[in-house]
C-alpha cells in the first residue's frame, strides 16, 4: 500500500472522534483494502451547488463527525476573518437523515467552544426555516445539516451567510481552506452561556406570514393529498395547510413521519419516476384532484394533477410557470424574478410581458437567492423543483411554494378551471415550451474526471445537428455566457432547441437539460404541437445519450 495513503489514513484516525469510524478505517488498513481507502481519501468534500454533500462514511470524502467538525472550524475562521460580527451568532438546524443528529451536535459544540452564540432549532425541521431564522434573528450565519433530495446513503452541510443566502465564492473557499488546516477544536456543551434555542415566536411568525399571504379566500374545498416523503415537512406543512384554510388535506400516512431509511422509496426525490405513486393512489382513493409533495428537507415542491386522461406529474418548469402566472400579476416596481440557465426560457417571456425584470443565473439557489441585488426577489425558481415565492426566505422553500400552488389551484377551481387549464393558457400565449432531461450517474472515485472528459469531448467535437436541427452555436460555460461567472458546462444551440450539459453540483451525475420552443402563432392544436416537440426532444435525448456515455450506472 502506498505510504502516503497510509499516513493520511493514520492521521485521520488520530483525529476522528467517532469510534465506529476509527474501527472501520483501522480494519481497512489491516486488511490492505487499498481501493476502498483510496475512495474514501481520494478528495475531501467541497462546497458544490448546495454545500457539502456525500455518502455517510469515514474519511474526508464522506460525511462524518470529523468532516463536520473541520467544516465548522472553517466557519469559525471565516466569521473571524470577515466583515460580519460573529457575536450575532449562528443558527443551527438539521433534518432527520442518518447521522444528522450527531453532525448537528458537532456543529453546536464546535461553535460554542469557539465562544460563538448558537441558536439551535428545536428539533429536526425543514431547511427553509433555518434560512428564515437567520434573517429573522439577524444572525451572522446559519448551518443546516441536510442532503435534501439526495440518496438515503448521503448527508450534507449547507451554510448560509448573514443575508440568509447560501454562501458563494470566495467564502466557500475560505471555509474549505481553514477547515483543511484545522486542528483539534475546543468543544463546549449546551450548558454554555452562549447556547440558545430558537424561540417558538420566530417560527410562529414565519407561519403567520405564510398562511396570511397564501390563505384560501374562505374555507377551501380543494381536495389535496400531501406527502413529505418520509422527511421533516409533515407536521409543519399540515399546520400551515390548516391555518391557511386548506382543510381537505389527506396525508400519505406511511410516508408522513420522518424516517431516514426512506422505506417506501427507491430515491427520496419527488422528481424521480414513481416517487409520487403512493400519493396518487391515495388521491384516487379519496377523490382528490391535487397531489403536493415535499422532498425530505421540505425545500422543494413536487405536484401531480388529475386530468381528463388520468394523473399528470408536473415538471419543475411547469410548476414554475404556474407560480409565475400568479406572482407576476402582483409584482411591484422594485420586484425582480429570476431563473437559471438550465431552466426553461419561458419565465423571461412572461416577465417581459408583465413589465418585470427577469434575471438568469447559474444553477442553484446560492445564485438565485442573490439575483435581485438591492431590489426584491418576488419569485425565483429552478427546474429541479426549487421555488422562492416570498422574499422573507432567501432560499428555495417548498412549504410556502405548496401554499402558493394550492392557492392558485383553489382560485382556478372556483371558476371551474384546473392547473392544467392554466398551463394550456400559458402555452397558447407564449408558445409550447417542451422540456426534458438526461441524467447519467457516474460511479467510482474517477467519476469527476470521466465527467470532465465527456464535457471536453462535447466541447471540442460538438454535433453539427441534433434531432434533425442545425447546430448554430456551442458555448463553453467555463468561458462565461450572458455575463455569468465561469462554470463547468456546455450550451448547444440548435434553434428552436437548446441543450445545456453540466455536472451535477449535488450528486455524481452528468446532466443535460433540453428545451424545444414553439411559436405562439402555430395554428395547430396544443397537443399536436406538444407531441411534435416531444418527438424532437426524444431524438435529441437519444443522440446525446450516445455522445455523453461515461460508464452509466442506472
What are the cell numbers at 451?
465527467
Residue 415: burial class (beta carbons within 10 Å; 0-12, 13-18, 19+): exposed
- Give the cell for residue 250: 389527506
What string of DSSP letters covers 467-502? Answer: TTEE--EEEEGGG-STTPPP-S-EEEEETTEEEEEE
Judge residue 522's burial from the number of C-beta atoms within 10 Å of its C-beta, 0-12 exposed, 13-18 middle, 19 or more buried: middle
CB 75 within 8 A of CB 125: no
Per-residue b/e over 178-204, b at no fewer than 16 CB within 10 Å? Answer: bbeebeebebbeeebebbeebeeebbe
The residues facing 144 across adjacent strands are 93, 158
Q: Could you tell me the three cell numbers for 433? A: 415550451
Angle, alpha carbons 39-453-550 (nearest 5°): 70
List alpha helices for 114-199, DSSP H: 127-137, 171-180
Candidates 237, 234, 275, 236; CA nearest to 256 is 234
Reduce the DSSP state of residue 91 to 3 states and report it: strand
Tell me the C-alpha distance between 85 and 79, whole Å.
7
Return phi, psi of residue 453, to 5°: -65, -40
3-state helix, strand and coil shares in percent for the chain, rounded to the nearest 5: 40, 20, 40
The H-or-E segment that residue 491 falls in is strand 490-494
* SS3 call for 236: helix
What is the C-alpha separation between 282 and 289, in angstroms, rounded? 11
Task: Return the ∠ at Cα 154 (arms to 149 and 155), rounded to 5°.
Answer: 85
C-alpha closest to that of 394 among 413, 379, 414: 379
- Asked if residue 285 lies in contact with residue 220, where contact means CB atoms within 8 angstroms, the answer is no
* Radius of gyration in angstroms for the set of CA atoms belonging to the chain, rounded to a whole number: 23
* Residues involved in catalysis: 148
Cis peptide before 170 (omega within 30 of 0): yes
| Dihedral over Cα of 431, 437, 438, 444: its sign | positive
> Could you tell me the three cell numbers for 552?
452509466
User: Distance between the two ends of the chain, CA-based, in angstroms?
Assistant: 32
Amino acid at each position: 500500500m502506498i505510504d502516503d495513503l497510509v499516513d493520511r489514513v493514520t492521521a485521520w484516525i488520530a483525529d476522528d472522534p467517532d469510534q465506529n469510524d476509527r474501527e472501520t478505517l483501522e480494519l481497512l488498513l489491516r486488511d490492505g483494502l487499498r481501493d476502498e481507502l483510496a475512495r474514501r481519501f481520494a478528495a475531501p468534500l467541497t462546497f458544490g451547488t448546495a454545500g457539502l454533500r456525500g455518502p455517510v462514511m469515514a474519511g474526508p470524502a464522506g460525511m462524518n463527525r470529523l468532516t463536520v467538525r473541520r467544516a465548522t472550524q472553517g466557519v469559525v475562521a471565516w466569521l473571524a476573518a470577515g466583515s460580519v460580527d460573529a457575536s450575532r451568532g449562528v443558527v443551527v438546524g438539521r433534518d432527520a437523515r442518518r447521522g444528522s443528529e450527531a453532525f448537528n451536535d458537532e456543529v453546536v459544540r464546535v461553535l460554542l467552544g469557539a465562544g460563538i452564540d448558537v441558536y439551535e432549532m428545536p428539533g429536526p425541521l425543514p431547511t427553509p426555516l433555518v434560512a428564515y431564522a437567520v434573517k429573522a434573528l439577524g444572525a451572522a450565519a446559519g448551518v443546516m445539516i441536510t442532503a435534501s433530495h439526495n440518496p438515503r446513503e448521503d448527508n450534507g452541510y449547507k451554510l448560509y451567510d448573514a443575508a440568509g443566502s447560501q454562501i458563494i465564492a470566495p467564502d466557500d473557499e475560505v471555509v474549505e481552506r481553514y477547515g483543511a488546516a484545522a486542528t483539534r477544536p475546543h468543544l463546549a456543551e449546551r450548558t454554555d452561556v452562549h447556547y440558545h434555542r430558537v424561540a417558538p415566536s420566530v417560527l410562529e411568525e414565519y407561519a403567520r406570514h405564510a398562511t396570511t399571504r397564501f390563505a384560501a379566500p374562505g374555507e377551501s374545498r380543494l381536495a389535496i393529498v400531501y406527502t413529505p416523503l418520509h422527511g421533516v415537512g409533515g407536521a409543519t406543512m399540515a399546520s400551515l395547510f390548516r391555518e391557511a384554510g386548506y382543510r381537505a388535506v389527506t396525508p400519505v400516512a406511511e410516508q408522513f413521519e420522518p424516517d431516514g431509511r426512506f422505506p417506501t422509496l427507491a430515491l427520496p426525490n419527488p422528481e424521480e419516476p414513481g416517487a409520487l405513486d403512493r400519493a396518487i393512489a391515495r388521491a384516487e382513493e379519496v377523490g382528490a384532484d391535487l397531489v403536493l409533495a415535499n422532498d425530505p428537507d421540505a425545500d422543494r415542491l413536487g405536484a401531480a394533477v388529475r386530468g381528463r386522461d388520468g394523473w399528470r406529474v408536473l415538471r419543475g418548469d411547469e410548476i414554475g410557470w404556474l407560480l409565475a402566472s400568479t406572482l407576476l400579476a402582483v409584482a411591484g416596481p422594485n420586484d425582480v424574478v429570476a431563473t437559471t440557465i438550465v431552466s426553461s426560457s419561458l419565465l423571461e417571456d412572461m416577465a417581459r410581458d408583465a413589465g418585470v425584470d427577469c434575471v438568469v443565473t447559474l444553477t442553484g439557489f446560492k445564485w438565485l437567492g442573490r439575483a435581485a441585488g438591492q431590489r426584491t426577489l418576488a419569485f425565483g425558481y429552478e427546474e429541479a423543483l426549487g421555488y422562492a415565492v416570498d422574499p422573507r426566505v432567501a432560499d428555495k422553500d417548498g412549504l410556502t411554494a405548496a401554499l402558493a400552488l394550492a392557492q392558485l389551484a383553489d382560485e382556478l377551481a372556483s371558476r371551474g378551471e384546473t392547473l392544467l387549464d392554466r398551463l394550456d393558457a400559458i402555452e397558447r400565449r407564449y408558445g409550447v415550451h417542451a422540456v426534458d432531461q438526461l441524467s447519467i450517474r457516474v460511479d467510482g472515485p474517477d467519476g469527476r474526471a470521466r465527467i470532465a472528459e465527456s464535457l471536453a469531448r462535447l466541447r471540442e467535437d460538438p454535433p453539427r445537428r441534433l434531432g434533425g436541427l442545425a447546430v448554430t452555436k456551442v458555448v463553453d460555460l467555463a468561458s462565461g455566457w450572458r455575463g455569468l461567472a465561469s462554470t463547468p458546462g456546455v450550451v448547444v444551440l440548435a434553434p428552436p432547441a437548446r441543450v445545456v450539459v453540466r455536472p451535477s453540483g449535488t450528486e455524481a451525475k452528468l446532466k443535460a437539460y433540453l428545451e424545444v420552443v414553439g411559436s405562439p402563432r402555430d395554428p395547430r392544436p396544443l397537443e399536436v404541437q406538444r407531441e411534435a416537440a416531444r418527438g424532437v426532444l426524444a431524438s435529441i435525448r437519444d443522440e446525446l445519450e450516445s455522445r455523453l456515455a461515461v460508464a452509466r450506472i442506472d
